[in-house]
């Protein structure tokens, strides 16, 4: 029986070793690489669930790599905050792995499939490592592991535009990483430690230091680039549009959420709430950027004709919700922010999976060509409709839960003026999703759709079933919101100094 104290390292080691062996076993048969990826992500999710259960019952878990006591050694720490994110990332990755088997056969050259799953697992390892590590330089190492594998995953798309998107992503990602490592260097220079808990204890007496404040500025710029927070979002639309469908779904559902986690962790657990609220009130700037992201992301999404690009700009707005709740910085709004990390992963993951299924069967990405798709692919379009209702914030969906907490949090903070912004964004979201729902159900088939063979209609079973499953969870956790909310509320209390 594996004790809870040893689970943190297994969450990282299993996908890392699997990433190394996948290209080797994939030479036997390409399906073996997929099986290894499925097994590795499943074990990581199982261990993540065990960790969050133990943390909620018994308190935080600390694991010392090599037995070296922190702050000298690298420490992995699990609290309600990062335990929650570990479960979100690992769960979404399992579902997308189940979905990926058929999708990747079409989107990636056959000879590259084993290497795809190796990079896929490296990307997953990087995300999980970012979430669980308690060492700030180790955090940077995992950021680079996920970033480098992410650049390669994007470039594996068959379109030439995928290479260009990957290159732009690499340039901007490298700039962001450079800012982050500079911030780490500045903090180490004045504190002599890299352990996050140790930094948190030492920084309050150094709040007046120009070096400490410069480090914070570097972190904010670098992480805003990684997060794609408006106006640092310019890499995101092309990456989501031109990546293989599996990669678009994975990145939209996990990558930016993990970057949001890092931003919140540095702001509220390393620098502490008093620094970001009073010493250097960066939350005032973030509130403005979040509001702009919510509105401008929605307006630009409304103008798009490519469905993947529309969803990409929609993500820019949804990132704004996460930052808005964190910047209001009370228990209710922070709970809404953390809930939206989970809820947006469900919503946007399922929507990109629907688009991938549609591309697999029809090759259609233009919104106008989707006319009549409701009869062609009824199950996929039902999943799309559920995801759309969730994005709008329809009652009994996860999107409504997030927006409710954010609105109530804004009222409690006497920031009622953010409620019209949330409502306006929901209205814009309803407009750009309704035009698609109206086209797929209430209009005649487009010429492109009418010219396609009528059978088979739906994508393969694995793609359709996982897409429906993820979309139905948007309703399940909209009704049974108390399940994730319990963990999110505990994490919010921890972030705010409770």
Instruction: Compute the mean pLDDT over every residue in the chain, rounded to the nearest whole number.
Output: 85
Q: What is the pLDDT of residues 387-423, one digit of tens each?
A: 899 988 888 888 888 889 999 988 988 888 888 988 9
Coil, helix or strand at residue 26:
coil
Burial code (b: 16+ CB inside 10 Å, e: under 16) for 206-216 equals ebeeeebbebb
* Residue 179 and residue 221 in contact, taking contact as beta carbons nearer than 8 Å: yes
pLDDT at 182: 92
The mean per-residue pLDDT over the stretch 338-362 comes to: 87
Looking at residues 411-439, what average pLDDT do you find?
A: 88
At residue 2, the pLDDT reads 60
- pLDDT of residue 1 exceeding 60: no
Burial 375-392 (b: 16+ CB within 10 A, else e): ebbebbbbbbbbbbbbbb
Q: Report the alpha-carbon distance of residue 126 to residue 113 in Å, rounded.
A: 20
E strands within 205-299?
Answer: none
pLDDT digits (tens, 9 = 90+) for 124-155: 999 999 988 888 888 999 999 998 998 988 88
Residues 6+ apart with CB under 8 A from 263: 219, 220, 223, 224, 227, 323, 326
- Secondary structure percentages of the chain, helix, strand, coil, to 5: 80, 5, 15
From the list 265, 300, 170, the residue with the least C-alpha distance to 225 is 170
Q: CA 137, 139, 143: angle at the middle one, nearest 5? A: 120
Q: What is the Cα–Cα distance from 468 to 459, expressed in whole angstroms?
A: 12
Q: How far is CA 329 from the centre of its chain?
A: 21
**The predicted structure's pLDDT at residue 218:** 92
Write out pLDDT tens, residues 43-83: 989 888 888 888 888 888 887 877 777 777 788 888 888 88
């Amino acid at each position: 029986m594996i004790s809870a104290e040893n689970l943190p390292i297994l969450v990282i080691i299993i996908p890392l070793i699997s990433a190394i062996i996948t290209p080797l076993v994939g030479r036997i048969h390409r399906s073996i690489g997929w099986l290894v990826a499925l097994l590795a992500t499943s074990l990581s999710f199982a261990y993540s669930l065990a960790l969050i259960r133990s943390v909620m019952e018994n308190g935080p878990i600390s694991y010392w790599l090599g037995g070296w006591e922190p702050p000298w050694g690298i420490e992995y720490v699990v609290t309600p905050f990062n335990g929650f994110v570990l479960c979100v990332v690992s769960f979404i990755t399992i579902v997308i792995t189940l979905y990926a088997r058929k999708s990747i056969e079409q989107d990636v050259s056959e000879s590259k499939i084993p290497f795809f799953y190796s990079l896929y697992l490296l990307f997953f390892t990087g995300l999980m490592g970012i979430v669980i590590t308690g060492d700030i330089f180790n955090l940077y190492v995992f950021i680079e592991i996920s970033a480098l594998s992410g650049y390669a995953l994007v470039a594996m798309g068959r379109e030439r535009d995928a290479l260009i998107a990957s290159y732009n992503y690499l340039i901007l990602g490298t700039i962001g990483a450079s800012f982050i490592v500079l911030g780490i260097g500045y903090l180490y220079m004045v504190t002599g430690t890299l352990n996050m808990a140790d930094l948190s204890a030492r920084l309050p007496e150094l709040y007046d230091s120009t070096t400490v404040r410069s480090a914070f500025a570097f972190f904010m710029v670098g992480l805003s680039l990684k997060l794609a927070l408006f106006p640092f979002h310019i890499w995101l639309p092309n990456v989501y549009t031109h990546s293989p469908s599996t990669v678009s779904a994975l990145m939209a559902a996990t990558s930016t959420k993990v970057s949001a986690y890092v931003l919140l962790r540095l702001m509220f657990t390393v620098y502490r709430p008093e620094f970001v609220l009073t010493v250097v009130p960066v939350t005032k700037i973030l509130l403005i950027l979040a509001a702009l992201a919510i509105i401008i992301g929605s307006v630009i999404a409304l103008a798009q004709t490519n469905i993947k690009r529309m969803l990409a700009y929609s993500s820019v707005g949804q990132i704004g919700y996460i930052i808005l709740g964190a910047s209001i910085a009370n228990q209710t709004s922070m709970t809404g922010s953390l809930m939206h990390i989970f809820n947006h992963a469900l919503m946007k993951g399922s929507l990109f999976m629907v688009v991938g299924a549609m591309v697999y069967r029809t090759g259609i990405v233009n919104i106008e060509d989707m006319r009549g798709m409701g009869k062609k692919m009824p199950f996929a379009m039902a999943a799309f409709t559920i995801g759309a209702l969730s994005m709008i914030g329809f009652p009994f969906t996860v999107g409504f839960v997030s927006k409710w907490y954010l609105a109530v949090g804004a009222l409690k903070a006497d920031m009622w003026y953010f409620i019209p912004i949330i409502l306006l964004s929901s209205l814009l979201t309803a407009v750009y999703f309704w035009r698609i729902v109206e086209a797929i159900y209430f209009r005649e088939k487009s010429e492109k759709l009418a010219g396609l063979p009528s059978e088979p209609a739906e994508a393969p079973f694995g793609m359709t079933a996982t897409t429906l499953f993820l979309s139905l969870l948007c309703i399940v956790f909209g009704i049974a919101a108390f399940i994730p909310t319990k963990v999110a509320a505990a994490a919010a209390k921890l972030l705010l100094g409770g």
